[in-house]
Amino acid sequence: MEVTMLTSPEDPWVFANAKSVDDVNFQNWPETVGLFMPCWNNRDVIEQTVQSLVAMPERYPFGLVAIDGGSTDGTVECLTAAGVPVVSLAQPRKNLMNEMVELWLGKYDRLADMFSREDRVGYLGFVHTDADYGVDPSWLSKLVAECWSDSKIGCVGPAYDDQTQALPEGLHVANCPIFVIPVPVVKALYRRHGWWIDPNYWSGTSYCDWDMQWHLKELGYLSVVSTWSRIRHFCQGTRAKLWVDEPDFRRRDDENRVYYHSKWPAGVSPFGGTT
């Protein structure tokens, strides 16, 4: 199956590898993953990441949207040249994850309990800007298979190459990065809270993923790492998503930490560790 890449966030079924909307197989939407990648001024690293995504030998249907925080180093030009649509959002901003979800699913109507375009994809996924996804060509299909096999999985991510020796084979319950989450789980979070990620967190810093997994745990879902699905994390470019400099990042990170500790007792993580 060919990789499907979104060419416009306004039209969910116009893909780069289709001549027209009629060429897209609508029957595949439950398996399609809507990926989003926040980025800012990290061109060389992002180019490696995008190439590893679109050049995978094993094809799996996904769409990819980049959310740019005002890059000035040619990142946007690099992405558009690769066929990746870019949505520009000026920084600074609080957490952007909810806006990214709405690019794929549309606005959420709480009274009707539905998204305006929720049938465009079956899963949502988060792409780090500093990872090699070609190290395991089937990483995405494996994550979808894990979600499909167990209705209790609310979020599943791949293991980093350097983690696989430390984790038991199979699924490992852990504080995993936000990678793939089924749309019905996103809907459950919106139904409960009105958002997917608490909008009070600064994006591009920490603790918001831990917080989301607390809420998944409240709803009876598991957050797991799949050791059968692997990526290579080759630098710390992810943190270049939407912040300007190191002091600014630390200030926002401190704000996230204070907010997290104010919500959860003793700063305990949802998986038994401490923050």
Q: Is the pLDDT of residue 1 over 70?
A: no
Query: Which residues fall within 8 angstroms of residue 122, CB to CB, at 6 or more apart?
Result: 29, 30, 31, 32, 33, 144, 182, 183
Q: With respect to residue 10, please indicate whether it lies within any of the assigned structural domains.
A: no
Count: domains in the chain: 1
pTM score, two decimals? 0.84
Which structural domain range is residue 205 located in? 21-264
Q: Is the pLDDT of residue 89 over 70?
A: yes
Please state the rounded mean pLDDT for residues 80-86. Answer: 80
Q: Scan for tokens 């994850």, then name that residue.
A: 97
pLDDT-wise least confident of 18-27, 106-115, 134-143, 246-255: 18-27
Residue 132: how many other CB atoms lie within 10 Å: 18
Q: With respect to residue 111, please indicate whether it lies within any of the assigned structural domains.
A: yes
In sequence order, what are the beta bridge partners of 109? Answer: 114
Q: With respect to residue 2, please indicate whether it lies within any of the assigned structural domains.
A: no
Q: With respect to residue 138, please indicate whether it lies within any of the assigned structural domains.
A: yes
Q: Is the pLDDT of residue 169 over 60?
A: yes
Q: With respect to residue 270, please indicate whether it lies within any of the assigned structural domains.
A: no
CA atoms within 13 A on the CB side of 106: 14
Burial of 22 (0-12, 13-18, 19+ CB in 10 A): exposed
Q: With respect to residue 14, please indicate whether it lies within any of the assigned structural domains.
A: no
Cβ(123)–Cβ(32) under 8 Å?
yes
Q: With respect to residue 7, please indicate whether it lies within any of the assigned structural domains.
A: no
Q: With respect to residue 150, please indicate whether it lies within any of the assigned structural domains.
A: yes
Helix axis angle for 183-193 and 97-105, nearest 10°, is 120
DSSP state of 219: T
Q: What is the pLDDT of residues 198-254, one digit of tens each?
A: 999 987 778 888 899 899 999 999 999 998 898 988 776 555 555 567 787 888 889
Domain CATH number, residue 29: 3.90.550.10
DSSP state of 77: H
